Amino acid sequence: MQVEITREYIEQVEEAVERRDREFILSTMEEMHPADIITVLYELDANESRYVLDQLPAEVGAEILSDLDEDIRNEFLDKFTSEEIARYLSLMHSDDAVDILNDQSVQTREEVIAHIDNEEQAAAILDLLHYEEDCAGGLMAKELIKVNLNWRVRQCIEEVRRQAERVARIYTVYVVDDRDKLLGRVSVKRLLLSKDDTQVKDIYSEDVISIESYKDEGEVVSVMQRYDLEAIPVVNIQGRLLGRITIDDVVDVMQEQAELSRQLMTGISENVEEDDSVLRISRARLPWLIIGMVGGLLAAQFMGFYENDIALLPAIALFVPLITATGGNVGIQSSSIIIQTLSSNEVMFDNILQRLVKVLLVALLNALIISVLVFSFTYLFKRELTLSMVVSAALFSVVMLASLMGTITPMILDKFGINPAVAAGPFITTANDLLGLTIYFGIAHMLYSL
């Protein structure tokens, strides 16, 4: 029966766990998607979740464990023995199993592998444990379907049937030679439509895009996006087929990269989550807060140079927040677009002049509109022509300069091998504050002859 996940249902599950009502859990969750069961488990404590998982089929439990949030999963697995963990890992894809094992101690890792009865699965997991998590080898799964170049279609179809038992999604069939070197691919449709005695070498396509196992995960994402792939084979230096990376793994990487970029752009120097310790969260936020504080102190000290000017014309101080906020916003907008382009590995420096011209034209249009609006607003309420001219001229200049800085700074940092995302937050904002104030008071000084 279809169950709606509500607060009331969560309470019913908690009561069922307390009275060990296995029938209620099975009857309400047997048709529930694993992702929905995970939603329920997030509302339970580790012991309650353990009981629920024990009542479900092992295959469902394996899928749930592989999709659980990493921190919650580690807390959850503390309640399991190595043998129980091995039972679930033997039902997972090898890459998901390795992701779980990488979070365990070396002792637990070895104990779990020793308890995996499926020798082929254990060998695949051991092989993947040698790769770094953030490279293509660390992302790939060993489960795939491959056929030999010299096989006939009849043998290939039998092999597809045999291997399909451990491959959840069949995107393509890879063709290899006697040394497992990747030569190409053949679609299942082509196999089914060909005669039984046809050899693979007569029907396969050499048009296959692969990636080396040592390549960075960012490059994997870039290649799969560029060629719109649902899966990509992974090979070693000699071109031997090692495994494949599927789209679901790439989506996970993209989400992690987007989250990390967002944190860096907002001044958080480490990958942290809400349930991390107070010390870890504070350590991640503090460096850029200190930089922002130093920038603020410099801005305050800088305004002190114009203390006499402000005393003679207090009205100019009213627009300081407008100048600094606008410069910071424009700089972050410009840098965000450039960082997005850089993260997708697009070639930028070949057409840098064209990009800069486009940035300046956009900045010019925005600056004109903003400065006209500010001039009209200031003159309407203050009735001071010179003040209106100072504010609008300063704002025009700040928008132009902030756009240029927001574009160039990430490109320069990237050229020197520095993560450009770190320049998009407090750094650009602070720099634009100081430059904006310089422009603002400089124009005021000239027009008012202070």
* CATH code of the domain in which 414 resides: 1.10.357.20
* SS3 label, residue 6: coil
* The last residue of a domain, from among 100, 131, 162: 131
Per-residue pLDDT at 444: 84
Per-residue pLDDT at 434: 81
Q: Are residues 164 and 204 in the same domain?
A: yes
Distance of alpha carbon 38 from alpha carbon 52, whole angstroms: 11
Residues 321, 325, 328, 330: is their CA dihedral positive or negative? Answer: negative
Q: Are residues 390 and 341 in the same domain?
A: yes
* The last residue of a domain, from among 104, 131, 158: 131
Nearest by Cα to 88 from 133, 109, 58, 127? 58
Domains held by the chain: number = 3
Per-residue pLDDT at 65: 92
Burial grade of 31 (CB within 10 A; 0-12, 13-18, 19 or more): exposed
Q: What are phi and psi of 147, to 5 degrees?
A: -135, 155
- Six-digit token pair at 88? 């679930």
Per-residue pLDDT at 345: 54
Per the domain annotation, does 71 fall within a domain? yes
Nearest by Cα to 125 from 138, 144, 107, 108? 138
Q: Are residues 242 and 380 in the same domain?
A: no
Q: Are residues 311 and 424 in the same domain?
A: yes
Per the domain annotation, does 170 fall within a domain? yes
Q: Are residues 286 and 425 in the same domain?
A: yes
Question: For residue 88, what are the CA distances in angstroms to 28, 81, 115, 118, 245?
Answer: 22, 11, 11, 12, 21
Range of the domain at 92: 7-131
383 neighbors 405 (Cβ within 8 angstroms): no
Block means of pLDDT (10 residues each) for the chain, length 450 residues? 81 92 90 90 88 91 89 84 91 90 89 90 90 91 92 91 80 92 93 92 93 92 90 94 92 77 60 64 70 75 74 79 85 76 56 75 91 90 85 91 83 72 66 82 77
Nearest by Cα to 13 from 65, 35, 38, 75? 38
* The last residue of a domain, from among 131, 164, 184: 131
Distance of alpha carbon 101 from alpha carbon 103, whole angstroms: 5
- Kindly report the pTM of this predicted structure: 0.67
Tell me the sheet residues that pair with 175.
Answer: 147, 184
Q: Are residues 293 and 216 in the same domain?
A: no
Per-residue pLDDT at 365: 93
Per the domain annotation, does 272 fall within a domain? no
Tell me the sheet residues that pair with 174.
Answer: 146, 185
Per-residue pLDDT at 205: 93
Distance of alpha carbon 312 from alpha carbon 431, whole angstroms: 27
Burial grade of 13 (CB within 10 A; 0-12, 13-18, 19 or more): buried
Q: Are residues 317 and 441 in the same domain?
A: yes
Question: For residue 370, what are the CA distances in angstroms to 231, 320, 381, 393, 433?
Answer: 47, 16, 17, 10, 18
